[in-house]
Structure 1
Amino acid sequence: MATFISLLAEENARQNLVASSSLGMVWQRHIADSAQLLTHVPRETDLSWLDLGTGAGFPGLVISILRPDVHVTMVESRARRIDWLERVCAHLELEHAKVEGMRIEHVPERPFSVISARAFAPLPQLLDRASRFSTGATTWLLPKGRSASQEVLELRGWEHVFHVEPSLTDSEAGIIIGTLLGRKG
């Protein structure tokens, strides 16, 4: 993990991957915040994980580093970030990490065991764009900050079993966790 953090700090000087002010708290703000998602998935080794809008690799790269057996697909559309993510995957020899350098609409459809998105889009738009990767057995892990409970309460048009768990790294934040069963009606 230390190598990843070093690469992150180095690249952050060239492109704004994370807020510079958060680098001093990188373990809590980014690493632990991403790693806590693993507590909500089974330890089975045949997991496929889709991380939408992975940005600087949170949580996708962290999951790949901590669970190298998990097949992680990170979706990112910004060219400079795609290049950086691919370089990190190669440097850290993350065999099961893959970067889909395109918008989510262009990613080939296939089911995933886990779908995560950290600060990607409001819940209704996220489900509209990503539900095609989900089955009734897919676990959704969506760190949402203070808006988590409100987003679940206001969600209309979807059959789901979502609930909010408190974040272990931010007492004011929540993580939407659950399964999506499909559109209503």
Structure 2
Amino acid sequence: MIRNETEARAYVAGLVNDPVIMDQLDLFTARLGEENGRQNLVAAASLPHVWCRHIADSAQLLAHVPRETAGPWLDLGSGAGFPGLIIAILQSGQEITLVESRRKRIDWLERIVGELGLAACRIEGRRLEQVETAPVAVISARAFAPLAATYRLSTRFSTERTMYLLPKGRSAAQELHDMPDWIRQTFHVEQSLTDPDAGIVVGRLNKEAQAMIRRGKL
């Protein structure tokens, strides 16, 4: 378990082993603090703990992506950039799309992506329902929507091989428990490294689950 900022920074540094990426993350955290004075991107009380609460919390998702999983990454409701923008920084060659519909958040994401030179990171500044359908390898979302709504809105981007990584905080186990058997059988909850009470819903939608969702059974 990551207990403080020192451990959080060390955890992320161990993932990338690249001082240039760490410099980018430092620049990101500085800009986040500045922007938070103009718009409420994150809770102000979380800024002194930004590495633990936001950076490492996002970075830990990489541990749940199988090595054979390759292809575009779709991050839903990116907001301040968690977890999608952090993944884009840590894996600069990763093709990743950040979906965000709020104008001020879109402007922030576009500015910071440009300043960091993240050429493979694209911003979809509209509601997910308006984004063109295309299959992706990974779908992530933090504080986006309840689990059922997340599946309903994102199924058209998924295949049997698409990995879902959904940090759900303290509600993870209960939300998954409330899902029908045909979802529970292919998903599970992983313990968060940054919060002993939080979990990450991880898994894939098989053909049966995708068909059931498309028929409005969820």
TM (normalized to structure 1)? 0.96
| Corresponding residue for residue 8 of structure 2 | none
Compared CA separation, residues 44 and 11, structure 1 to 2 (3 A): farther
Q: 1:78 aligns with which of 90, 98, 102?
A: 102
Q: 1:165 aligns with which of 182, 190, 196?
A: 190
For 2:83 and 2:98, locate their aligned partners in 1 and report how far apart those are by CA, in whole Å. Answer: 9
1:132 aligns with 2:142: no
SS state of the match for residue 99, structure 1?
strand
Compared CA separation, residues 150 and 132, structure 1 to 2 (3 A): same
Q: 2:87 aligns with which of 42, 49, 63?
A: 63
Aligned-residue identity in percent:
57
| Corresponding residue for residue 29 of structure 1 | 53
TM (normalized to structure 2)? 0.81
Structure 1 window deviating more from structure 2 (49-58 vs 158-167): it is 158-167
SS state of the match for residue 180, structure 1?
coil
Whether the 8 Å CA contact 1:45–1:69 is kept in 2: the answer is no
Deviation at 1:151, TM superposition (A): 1.0
Show CA shifts across 1:85-109 (max 9, x none): 0011100000110000000000000
For 1:157 and 1:169, locate their aligned partners in 2 and report how far apart those are by CA, in whole Å. Answer: 29
Structure 1 window deviating more from structure 2 (152-161 vs 77-86): it is 152-161
Gaps of 5+ in 2: 1-24
Opposite residue 99 of structure 2, the aligned amino acid is V
- The number of equivalent residue pairs is 185
Segments of 4+ moved more than 3 angstroms: 42-46, 157-160
Whether the 8 Å CA contact 2:99–2:128 is kept in 1: the answer is yes
Whose Rg is larger? 2
Deviation at 1:36, TM superposition (A): 0.2
Gaps of 5+ in 1: none
Whether the 8 Å CA contact 1:46–1:70 is kept in 2: the answer is no
Deviation at 1:26, TM superposition (A): 0.1
Deviation at 1:146, TM superposition (A): 1.1
